[in-house]
Amino acid sequence: MITVWGGQTSRSIRVVWVLEEMGLPYRLRQVDMLAAKSDPTWLAVNPGNFLPAIQDGDVTMVESVAIMEYLMGRYGPTPLQPGPNDPSFPTYQQFLHMGEAGLATLIMVPLVSGFIAPETERDNWGARWARECVERRLLLVRRQLAGAPYMAGDRFTAADISVTYALKLGANRAGFALGDAEQAYLARTTNREAYKRAFNRSHEGMAA
């Protein structure tokens, strides 16, 4: 049984969403980030103390996109992951990784500066720079959506799971304004039954 260590608003939703799309059994262990740094069981899984992590037999992994690739590789094939000879593969790879490396990671800078930093440090050069970097990367998402309904083209893939998380993070927690195309895209991706199950599982805490 795969164990996902996650939190209600964490990137663990990406992992749980993949598991739901693939119909794989798993159990979810919610980590309370306020208590996590003194929880030896959790720190033995991830001494870096960030979410998500998985355990699958002898495998222990962190990094949400790497975990997604592991699950699809080990338990696929799955339509979530186009093969290397599929024409959509390069675009798929690009947006799968841009969702974290180009968007969510950078979004964290204005997010923590804006909501967690002391008042006098909120408006800072680094946060403004990161916000501007995200805005430029969003131009690629916008260009893609001008010609196709999904990040890899005509059909839903794991790249959409990656990018959906980032867009929601930016819009809901860091004040990024989304246009009509991005909002319609989020409505499409989050209307999937697997997303709704993943969301509900993530918010109900411990589950079988």
Catalog residues that contact ligand GSH under the rule CB under 6 A. Answer: 10-11, 49-52, 63-65, 100, 105
Residue 158 beta carbon to ligand GSH: minimum distance, rounded to whole angstroms:
13
Angle (CA) 156-162-21 rounded to 5° is 50
Residue closest to ligand GSH when measured from CB atoms:
50
Q: How far is the CB of 164 from ligand GSH (least distance, A)?
A: 14
Q: Are 4 and 54 in contact (CB under 8 A)?
A: yes
- As beta bridge partners, residue 13 has none
- CB-nearer residue toward ligand GSH: 7 or 153: 7
* C-beta of 64 vs 91, nearer to ligand GSH: 64
- CB 196 to ligand GSH: min, Å: 20
Q: In this complex, which beta carbon is closest to ligand GSH, that of residue 98 or of residue 153?
A: 98
Q: Provide the minimum distance between the beta carbon of 104 and ligand GSH in the complex, in angstroms, as a whole number.
A: 7
What is the phi-psi region of residue 205: left when phi exceeds 0, alpha when psi lies from -120 to 50, beta otherwise? left
Tokens describing residue 28: 């979810």
Q: CB of 42 within 8 A of CB of 31? A: yes
Q: Position of tokens 């799971």? A: 161
Phi, psi of 153 (to 5 degrees): 130, -125
Q: Which is nearer to ligand GSH, 31 or 153 (CB)?
A: 31
Q: Cis (ω within 30 of 0) for the bond into 52? A: yes
Of 71 and 153, which CB lies nearer to ligand GSH in the complex structure? 71
Q: Report angle CA 58, 199, 195 to the nearest 5 degrees.
A: 90
CB 180, min distance to ligand GSH, A: 27
